[in-house]
Structure formats: C-alpha cells, structure tokens
Chain A
Amino acid sequence: MITNYEIEGTMATNRFLTSNRHKAFELRKKLEVQSNDTSRHWMVGKAILDRVVIEIDTHDKENLRTIWAFYSKLYHNSFGIIKTMHGYHLVQKHQVSKELLQYSRCLVLCPFLSINQLPEYESMIEQFFNTLKEERENKEFTQKELQERSKEIPKRLKDANLDYSKGTIDVLHALIGIQKKKYVLRISKKTKDDKMELIQ
C-alpha cells in the first residue's frame, strides 16, 4: 500500500509511504519520468523507528570524532558510522526502549534535557513548526526562496533556544526526526557513483 501524505508545517510536500522496498524504487522511477521539473530529484529512504540517527553534512573527521564520542557517552550506546557522499550517518548500535525513544531523539538537539522537561520541549518544537507552517500558508515560495529559508532554520532554532547540539550536525534532520518520531535514511543513489560505506 502506497500512501501519499504531507508533512505538517514545512518540509517536503510530497512523500509516499510503503512497506515494500521494491515498490518504493519503482515509484521513484515513475516519478522521475513524470516530473516536469528537472531540478526535482526523487529519493527512496528507509525509516529508522527504533533508535537515534545523527546526520553530518561534512567529511571533517575531527567533527565526526567529537560528535561520535560525545553522543556515544551521552546515550551509553555506541554509534555505527556510514560514510555518504557528503558526510556521515551515525546510527545507534542498540535499540532504544519505546518509552525513551522520543526523549532520546530530543537529546540530540538538547543534550542536557531532563525527562521531566520533555513535554515542555516537545511543545516548543511543535510551536516552532506551527510558525513555519503559517509562513508557508501565507506566502507562495519559489524554489530558491525555499532553499534560502531552509538554510535559515538552524539559526532560528538556536535563537528559539531549541538547539544546543554538539559539533556540526544536520540540525534539520534532528528536528524532523523529533516531529515525525522517526528518521529517514536515503538508500537510493544520487548519482551513479554514489555509494554508502559502513566504516565502523
């Protein structure tokens, strides 16, 4: 079953959900052919529902070491490292219990958050998304404006006292992980030479 749904607030307006990997890749092929917009690139991602994933958009190894060490210690749960075209995916090696999953996702952006502060933090995140949503509803953005806007979101998140993450991570990825209560890892290639490599 393939379902099209819209992410509340800000992000991609067209997402299709399926439990069948083959169908996902077939659908991607169709969408690439159908799409008149050549700048739009369709991807297939796998949902990670049971652990924390941190995305890094740079190959800076010192940054990688800092983040890996900090979050491995914070969670008492080591991270596997997947090297991608433009950075790394850090994926927790062990599952997190259901009760602590959302708290664990929030710790990526706010490492000193206590479990008691979770409802308040989640509410602030929701408010942040609502603001973004209202902006999108009140204005028609061009592709370029949308890209510019996405670059501003990390700063806005810091200004709203919602981001205290360690090192240079993909803050948007962490933010969307909290909103959707899952992470989506791209598994389709961006180019023919694109490959993902498990390095640890």
Chain B
Amino acid sequence: MSFEDFEGEVIIDYDSNTFTVERDGKVKGYDIDDNSEWLNRIIDSNEIDVVEYEEEYEVYSQEY
C-alpha cells in the first residue's frame, strides 16, 4: 500500500488492533501489525489528523 494511496479519515481501533482508511470511495480495514510501517508514517505526518484515544501509555522495563 502506498503512503499517498488513501483519502479521508484514518481511524485507529486499538481494541481490535485494526485501522480503517477510505480508499477508492470505500472504507477498508487493515491490521495494525501488518501495516505498522505505513501507519507510523501517517502518524508521524503533521499534515494528517489521526483519530487517537486520549489515553496514556508507558513503555518501561522493570528495575527496582
């Protein structure tokens, strides 16, 4: 899938680990893990609004 090859809103559903994109006039769903590189480019792009949950996550290692 090419980076430019979509239009409209990208909706990420972390509960089902999928995201939907509007392409060719239809809304299509994709697996997040299978398309992580592509999705990261969308998220990193300032030009595109990505719908995210307003939540807080931590990445951490155990060290006491």
* Residue ranges of A at the interface with B (Cβ–Cβ < 8 Å): 10-24, 26-28, 31, 40-47, 49, 143, 146-147, 149-150, 153, 172, 182, 184, 187
Contacts and interface: CB of A to CB of B under 8 A. Distances in A.
Contacts of A45: 57-60
A17 B56 contact: yes
Contact of B59 (A31, A143, A172): A31
A34 B26 CA distance: 39
A15 B64 contact: no
Contacts of A44: 57-59
Interface residues of B, number: 20
A22 B39 contact: yes
B40 interface: yes
Given A146-B63, A147-B64, A153-B64, A20 B43 contact: yes
Contact of B63 (A12, A26, A27): A12
Contact of B60 (A14, A26, A150): A14
Q: Which 7 A-B residue pairings sit nearest by Cβ, starting from the closest? A: A150-B64, A47-B56, A24-B57, A16-B59, A15-B60, A21-B14, A45-B58
B49 interface: no
Contacts of B5: none
Given A44-B58, A184-B58, 7 more contacts: A11-B64, A13-B63, A18-B56, A26-B36, A46-B55, A49-B56, A149-B64
A45 B56 CA distance: 9
B53 interface: yes
Nearest to A150: B64
A143 B61 CA distance: 12
Interface string B28-61: 0000100010011001000000001111111111
Interface centre among B39, B54, B59, B64 (most CB of A within 10 A): B59
Contacts of A17: 56-58
A21 B55 contact: yes
A40 B61 contact: yes
